[in-house]
Structure 1
Amino acid sequence: MDQPKWGHLKKLHEVLKSVEEALTYGVTENYQYPNFVDVQLHSYNGQDVCFMGNAHESYDATISFRNREYFIPAWFVTILPDCVKPVYNTAHVNVQTSIMVKEHNPGSFGQEEPLVLDCHWKNEHIEKFERSGPPRGSILTTNKLLDQKVVTNDTSDYLWFDHPKSELVTLRVNTDGHVVHVSANNKFMGTQYAQNGQYSFTYEIRINLRKGKNYLTLCSSTVGLAHSGAYFGNVPVGIKGVQIVNGSDGTVTRDLSTNQWVYKVGLLGETTKLFDVSGLSDGHRRRTELLSTSEQFIWYKTNFKTPLIPDLLVVDLKGMGKGHAWVNGYSIGRFWSSYKTECDDTSSCDYRGAYGADKGATNCAESTQRCHTPTSTTSQFPGPREPPGPTTSILSSSTTPPPSRPPSPLIIDVEDTVRPA
């Protein structure tokens, strides 16, 4: 839970719900003051609700309204449900701040959690063309590149393109997807992802291929789809062009976009449900210390004892790449821990004025997210004198570096504080 933002918005929601009838059915009056200051009055069934706003970026105003004086700072809105006493101010934050504290799991019933959890892993099997035909699970073969949403039907983040050719030197991939992975002859070559939300980008990679027939495999990956805005369903997603280019001047020597491509949706691990508790069996996994640093598309599994503290559980994925996380078979969402914020947090933050991507930036060059899970997904206590069963965490990661340590549970410790704007 992102505090204090979540709590601040929760209070706003509560105030607006309390005056909902006046806002939706009431009569509205507007009072204008100098320097972009205004008061909006909503009246309904004897209830008066006031919104006082100051849209100036630097001018603090003091106004008189209904024989009372109100101080309204710059770039500020205050809500008065009775048009007398302010109860909510956009720039004054008075809610708790969550602080993440790493704690060793004390275990239960005399059972101690080891400091380093036992973690196992398994490669995602990536198939390629063979003489006998296309890979298992492929759904269609076309002579053009299709939109990813049409092919996957939102059943997976991953869409594979497989194509055999020879003597590629420099490969250019034009895509509207979020991430593209390139493999040649069943060997991973490189990955590129969109920067700063610019999902339409070009990836060029130098590939030295063997003489004769070569196998080219592309994976286009998404991290969610557009769900708002005009015509959001028409936003293109996925690879739209594949070309061989001259390494010296960048001219296109051959366009592979209209060659034959085989499409395959999703990961094999998704189909075989490796994310289930029993998905990574002992006979099909290896210990973490045997993990190669060049591996991509890895499934990880670890077990830990359910913490005694009934708080929110955090799976620390700071050392991971991009992927999906499950706890006891329940999806807790995607993660992209290797995606670092690109911003400048050296300057002071001023909330006044129009918002920008670098405004009030903090934790620059740090991971943008961590995975949280409610304890309802962890193993429960079977009885008052019996310890809970182990909680199983399954992670699929399509980008590495591999984790610097196995995923480990954290506990969030919440302190009640007031953070000024």
Structure 2
Amino acid sequence: CRFTEFGGTIRKRPVEDLSFAVARFVQKGGSFINYYMYHGGTNFGRTAGGPFITTSYDYDAPLDEYGLAREPKYGHLKELHRTIKLCEPALVSVDPTVTSLGSMQEAHVYRSPSGCAAFLANYNSNSHAKVVFDNEHYSLPPWSISILPDCKTVVYNTATVGVQTSQMQMWSNGASSMMWERYDEEVGSLAAAPLLTTSGLLEQLNVTRDTSDYLWYMTSVDVSPSEKFLQGGKPLSLSVQSAGHALHIFINGQLQGSASGTREDKRISYKGNVNLRAGTNKISLLSVACGLPNIGVHYETWNTGVNGPVVLHGLDEGSRDLTWQTWTYQVGLKGEQMNLNSLEGASSVEWMQGSLIAQNQMPLAWYRAYFDTPSGDEPLALDMGSMGKGQIWINGQSIGRYSLAYATGDCKDYSYTGSFRATKCQAGCGQPTQRWYHVPKSWLQPSRNLLVVFEELGGDTSKISLVKRSVSSVCADVSEFHPSIKNWQTESSGEAKPELRRSKVHLRCAPGQSISAIKFASFGTPSGTCGSFEQGECHSTKSQTVLEKCIGKQRCAVAISPDNFGGDPCPNVMKRVAVEAVCSPGT
């Protein structure tokens, strides 16, 4: 999958296709698989590159950036790995023999004195295939591979997912109890840092050396009192060309407008009306870098910052090019120079207090609040859905950049079948690309943790909250003849008791949780997916009662058999169990 960028969608890869790719590689003799990513992570500080790559570096991985299993991806891949391990004696002894089973089906067979393993593949992305292998009949779902560790028994099929699906939630105790204070950043303060003055516009990173995301470009313009725009004429406008990545335009300390590039096109072409007065006017352009380039052709030559031209339009003289006049440069913000994000620096200035501070919509503002670490073992995150764009620190450690950029893309329904490409499976259209920001618990102390937020655009800090990431519900959808590694191992060990062969539904809440309710249960021919299951024409009325025996347990297994559900609701019909269980904190 491609990088996740602010303003972009979340790219996913169905586990049915991922496991198909891995099994296909192994069946052809592959012996080393690298998952990218297997465990998601977080770009803390200013380490996210791109530019515009999100702070979250999760990529729909089997283990998410909080260290939690993403089901069914984690469980289905775990079963694949176990199945391949069962085939090991044969796989490492010989090369495979390839046999055609149909126009788009084939078998890769490893036969050796140490064992036999077979991979039956169906490359058709639209339809099931009935094949004959070693005088036995097998059904292969579309775009799938069945693995037979003994060349007889299907133990695993890449398209048949029997593990649970976990639905995650970001859970808050309610309204934030944090009391916020504010410190306003000075626009183009000349006393905050060493200054550089020169004619013309300089490339940003050559000036900042990446010591800060921020660089002020400052100059002045003299306006005659006789200018027609001062007498009610057409207002002036300012055009600014920038190599990126974001830009805020201030005239005499007042924000006039903002603009931003994208990962695909970092350049900014801004033009907007500006309010000037008679006399000397100060123009301050705050250029913002949103991460260093990390990939691309000769990206070491890419520029950042205001590169011009910068032109003032609408004066009596016409247009005035400001590009080559004298500009003063200031690296970073005054708050950065004062280390307002640190425990010591945050105590060195006077912060404004009051009930209206949180709702402040003024740009360039620092906020601080203190909070106690909540109880429990769940991973933590900050909900930044009420803010605009900026950076976050906790106890002096940088959580990273945040941006409430809404995702645009093509979030249509998708199928696991067919060749995968990065744009095929998109999610999150119309939602912020990233709303929650991971807070490592190792950075926290039991009480009075310092939270500092620098907001570029304006936001409502009263709605910032610390949330817990946890499992809200778990689902399973398993057929009565679902292939199972445990069932095959049971048979191989000689324990052929019928009750040991039966397929089972396995449900498991997170540690510290238990099953508190069964939202849906059906043994028969249910349809739908997790969160939207529906009963089919065939349904056992005992389904709810049987599954409710799991209530109060952290994990539960239920055998799929007519006897367990009070009889067969529809003989001679393939049946399945679909269930959705609610997970709640245990008592």
TM-score by length of 2: 0.55
**What is residue 150 of structure 1 aligned with on the other side?**
206
Preserved contact between residue 190 and residue 205 of structure 1 (Cα < 8 Å): yes
**What is residue 409 of structure 1 aligned with on the other side?**
466
Q: 1:179 aligns with which of 233, 246, 263?
A: 246
AA at the equivalent of 1:149: L
Distance, in Å, in 2 between the alignment partners of 1:68 and 1:219 is 72
2:178 alignment partner, SS class = coil
2:325 alignment partner, SS class = coil
**What is residue 362 of structure 1 aligned with on the other side?**
428
> What do the CA deviations read for 1:125-155 (whole angstroms, capped 9, x no partner)?
2235xxxxx6542453343333333332222
> What do the CA deviations read for 1:82-137 (whole angstroms, capped 9, x no partner)?
59656584795855332112225xxxxxxxxx963211111112235xxxxx6542
2:205 alignment partner, SS class = helix
Preserved contact between residue 121 and residue 285 of structure 1 (Cα < 8 Å): yes
Alpha-carbon RMSD: 4.3
**What is residue 110 of structure 1 aligned with on the other side?**
none
> What do the CA deviations read for 1:337-392 (whole angstroms, capped 9, x no partner)?
x21123465x544455665658543352446331121221111xxxxxxxx33222
Distance, in Å, in 2 between the alignment partners of 1:159 and 1:63 is 66
Counting aligned pairs with the same residue, the percent is 24
Higher deviation after alignment, 279-288 or 12-21: 12-21
2:474 alignment partner, SS class = coil
Distance, in Å, in 1 between the alignment partners of 2:125 and 2:213 is 42
Distance, in Å, in 1 between the alignment partners of 2:195 and 2:120 is 58
Distance, in Å, in 1 between the alignment partners of 2:285 and 2:173 is 41
1:405 alignment partner, SS class = helix
TM-score by length of 1: 0.74
Cα displacement (A) at 1:157: 1.7
Structure 1, unpaired ranges of 5+: 105-113, 129-133, 380-387
Preserved contact between residue 180 and residue 461 of structure 2 (Cα < 8 Å): no
**What is residue 125 of structure 1 aligned with on the other side?**
186
1:320 alignment partner, SS class = coil
In the alignment, does 2:454 pair up with 1:396? yes
In the alignment, does 2:330 pair up with 1:272? no
Cα displacement (A) at 1:162: 1.1
Distance change in 2, residues 1:330/1:294 (3 Å): closer
Preserved contact between residue 141 and residue 261 of structure 1 (Cα < 8 Å): yes
Distance, in Å, in 2 between the alignment partners of 1:91 and 1:259 is 68
Distance, in Å, in 1 between the alignment partners of 2:302 and 2:76 is 32
Q: 1:375 aligns with which of 441, 446, 456?
A: 441
Question: What are the within-5 Å matches in structure 2 for residues 241-390 of structure 1?
Answer: 241-244=308-311, 246=313, 253-281=319-347, 284-291=350-357, 293-336=360-403, 338-343=404-409, 348-352=413-417, 355=421, 359-362=425-428, 364-366=430-432, 368-379=434-445, 388-390=446-448
Preserved contact between residue 387 and residue 460 of structure 2 (Cα < 8 Å): yes
Question: What are the within-5 Å matches in structure 2 for residues 193-208 of structure 1?
Answer: 193-195=260-262, 197-208=264-275
AA at the equivalent of 1:96: S
Distance change in 2, residues 1:226/1:349 (3 Å): same
> What do the CA deviations read for 1:199-226 (whole angstroms, capped 9, x no partner)?
2231111112112221111111132223
Distance, in Å, in 2 between the alignment partners of 1:144 and 1:30 is 68
**What is residue 172 of structure 2 aligned with on the other side?**
102
Cα displacement (A) at 1:398: 1.1
> What do the CA deviations read for 1:157-184 (whole angstroms, capped 9, x no partner)?
2122111123492111222323110111
Distance change in 2, residues 1:11/1:333 (3 Å): farther
Distance, in Å, in 2 between the alignment partners of 1:203 and 1:160 is 17
The number of residues matched between the two structures is 392
Distance, in Å, in 2 between the alignment partners of 1:240 and 1:23 is 59
Distance, in Å, in 2 between the alignment partners of 1:87 and 1:13 is 11
Preserved contact between residue 409 and residue 426 of structure 2 (Cα < 8 Å): no
**What is residue 131 of structure 1 aligned with on the other side?**
none
> What do the CA deviations read for 1:56-78 (whole angstroms, capped 9, x no partner)?
6545555667777665555x465
> What do the CA deviations read for 1:222-256 (whole angstroms, capped 9, x no partner)?
322231344333333322213225469xxx93433
Task: State the structure with bigger RCO (CA 8 A, min sep 6), 1 or 2.
Answer: 1
